[in-house]
Amino acid sequence: MLTAGALNDLGARLASAAGPNPPPAWDGGFDPLPDDADAGLILHVKHLALLRCYQARYVLLPDAAPGGSVLDHLAAHYGEDRLRALSNVRGALENELIVPLQAEAATGDVTAYVERLLPELRSVGSDPFLDALAGLTHREDHYRNFLVQSSADLLAEASASALGVIGEFGAPQSALFRILIDEFGYGAHGHKHSVLYQATMRSFGLDDRYNGYWRLFDTHTLVLHNAIHWLFQNPRNIFRQVGFLLFAETAYQRSTLFHARYLGRFHPQADARYFAEHAHIDLHHTQMVVDEVIAPFVERFGPEVGGEIIAGAELTRAVFARNGAGQLALLAAFEAAPSAIYGLRPHGGRLVTPATPVAPAARVQVGAIGAVSAADFHRFPAGATGRLTEAA
Ligand SMILES: [Fe+2]
Ligand SMILES: [Fe+2]
């Protein structure tokens, strides 16, 4: 298990590689842990470190030229020392944080599983988070936080799953590649799903740069996205990756439809193309996964592979459910806080969890929702994180 000291050494090394005031694309560091860090804070920072490990595999460039030589910046961000330091901790972090979450390989028949799963997911009648928002005065602030938390993945949508497409594994690879190029807008930049998502973020006055809200991601968000990266950055998970796609593409057809309707009702001026596009195209993606990936894989390798596909789908169900419950609990806690002030404020302050001791006069910015008093924040559920906005 990685110690707080080892994490702090790594964080300091990454921060020094990034230099002062790096653009979000190359800000590769994470928060230091104080000596008296509580368990929730340690867990959160470990997840930040693991996400940095995964992001190190991405080509990330800022949208404007930085000061100095771009090649010097690349040499620092993707330098051998930095990458080695990250890869040295990755396995230990995965074993501690993600492996315990994975569903055991199931023994059921995958064809029967698919026959049950698809109608189950397609009969979901509403989204509990959006249902909760409909009755709130400050729904826009909570929705902005939803966009911020989801941006951890969606501003580089399908880059995680792209890592499961490279290599050579026969005809299913080409089906997965066709799904991937849909995600990338068939090469038309304006249709790339991450670009559509940027437009939605801008509709809510948000910064649309990848990692622009790194400091506001809560633990639930990090768990979800690290689990997805764990699946796709480990080639041994290829069949579990297929299970992820089966579940995620099917669930997304419904959830994106509800988001498109929600935006049409409450924010008709917002750019909702991201959601409308998915409500339609993911129907095809599910069918491609079932017919062109699962069926030929099971035919080639037998029922053992079906068990892995089920395990991947069930892991996906578990991490989505956990994140959904976490975001709902956060919403309820914020609504119940008497000191709540809504809105996104500067969030450069110290990272805290509800268990972190802070001065009573301090205020805590919680995601993009708003700020509460330290006393109220102590009553927030585990998995919530915040940033001190006033000297504690
Ligand atoms: Fe997509
Ligand atoms: Fe899709």
Q: What's the distance, Cα to Cα, between the start and end of the chain in Å?
A: 31
Residues 121 and 134: their CA atoms lie apart, in Å, by: 22
Mean pLDDT of the 307-311 span: 96
The rounded Å distance from CA 155 to ligand 1 centre is: 10
The rounded Å distance from CA 21 to ligand 2 centre is: 35
Q: Considering the chain, what percentage of its residues have pLDDT values greater than 70? A: 99
Mean pLDDT of the 30-54 span: 96
Neighbours of 189 (CB within 10 A): 9
Neighbours of 144 (CB within 10 A): 22
Per the structure block, which two tokens stand in for 157? 């949508």
Q: Please, which pLDDT band fits residue 118 given cuts at 50, 70 and 90?
A: very high
pLDDT at 320 over 70: yes
Backbone φ/ψ region at 186: left (φ over 0), alpha (ψ -120 to 50), beta: left
The rounded Å distance from CA 158 to ligand 1 centre is: 7
Residues 114 and 330: their CA atoms lie apart, in Å, by: 33
Q: Considering every ligand atom shown, identify the ligand nearest to the alpha carbon of residue 178 and give its number.
A: 2
pLDDT at 392 over 60: no
pLDDT tens for 237-284 read: 999 999 999 999 999 999 999 999 999 999 999 999 999 999 888 889
The 3-state DSSP class for residue 272 equals coil
More confident residue, 21 or 258: 258
Question: Under a CB-based contact definition with an 8 Å cutoff, are residues 256 and 279 in contact?
Answer: yes
pLDDT at 161 over 80: yes
The rounded Å distance from CA 9 to ligand 1 centre is: 37
Mean pLDDT of the 222-245 span: 98
Backbone φ/ψ region at 185: left (φ over 0), alpha (ψ -120 to 50), beta: left
User: Which ranges constitute the DSSP H helices of 234-338?
Assistant: 238-266, 273-288, 295-301, 303-336
Question: Under a CB-based contact definition with an 8 Å cutoff, are residues 367 and 186 in contact?
Answer: no
The H-or-E segment that residue 341 falls in is: strand 341-342
Residues 126 and 1: their CA atoms lie apart, in Å, by: 41
Report how far apart, in Å, the C-alpha atoms of 308 and of each of 4, 242, 290 are: 34, 9, 14
Domain regions of the chain by residue span: 4-97, 105-334, 341-388
Place of tokens 């069918």: 287
Q: Considering every ligand atom shown, identify the ligand nearest to the alpha carbon of residue 153 and give its number.
A: 1
pLDDT confidence of residue 296: 98
pLDDT confidence of residue 390: 66
Q: Considering every ligand atom shown, identify the ligand nearest to the alpha carbon of residue 274 and give its number.
A: 1
Q: Please, which pLDDT band fits residue 360 given cuts at 50, 70 and 90?
A: confident
Residues 155 and 209: their CA atoms lie apart, in Å, by: 8
The dotted CATH code for 105-334 is: 1.20.910.10
pLDDT tens for 61-113 read: 999 998 889 999 999 999 999 999 999 999 999 999 999 998 776 778 999 99
Q: Considering every ligand atom shown, identify the ligand nearest to the alpha carbon of residue 184 and give its number.
A: 1
The rounded Å distance from CA 51 to ligand 2 centre is: 22
The rounded Å distance from CA 278 to ligand 1 centre is: 6
Q: Considering every ligand atom shown, identify the ligand nearest to the alpha carbon of residue 157 and give its number.
A: 1
Question: Under a CB-based contact definition with an 8 Å cutoff, are residues 240 and 312 in contact?
Answer: yes
Angle, helices 238-266/171-183, rounded to nearest 10 degrees? 20
The rounded Å distance from CA 273 to ligand 1 centre is: 11
Place of tokens 């996906």: 316
The rounded Å distance from CA 193 to ligand 1 centre is: 5
Question: Under a CB-based contact definition with an 8 Å cutoff, are residues 184 and 192 in contact?
Answer: yes
Q: Considering every ligand atom shown, identify the ligand nearest to the alpha carbon of residue 192 and give its number.
A: 1
Pick from 347, 70, 102: nearest CA to 218? 347
Question: Under a CB-based contact definition with an 8 Å cutoff, are residues 220 and 323 in contact?
Answer: yes
pLDDT confidence of residue 21: 85
Backbone φ/ψ region at 69: left (φ over 0), alpha (ψ -120 to 50), beta: beta
Q: Considering the chain, what percentage of its residues have pLDDT values greater than 90? A: 89
pTM of the model: 0.97
What does the mean pLDDT of the chain come to?
A: 95
Residues 153 and 40: their CA atoms lie apart, in Å, by: 22
Q: Considering every ligand atom shown, identify the ligand nearest to the alpha carbon of residue 277 and give its number.
A: 1
pLDDT at 391 over 60: no
The rounded Å distance from CA 168 to ligand 1 centre is: 23
pLDDT confidence of residue 283: 87
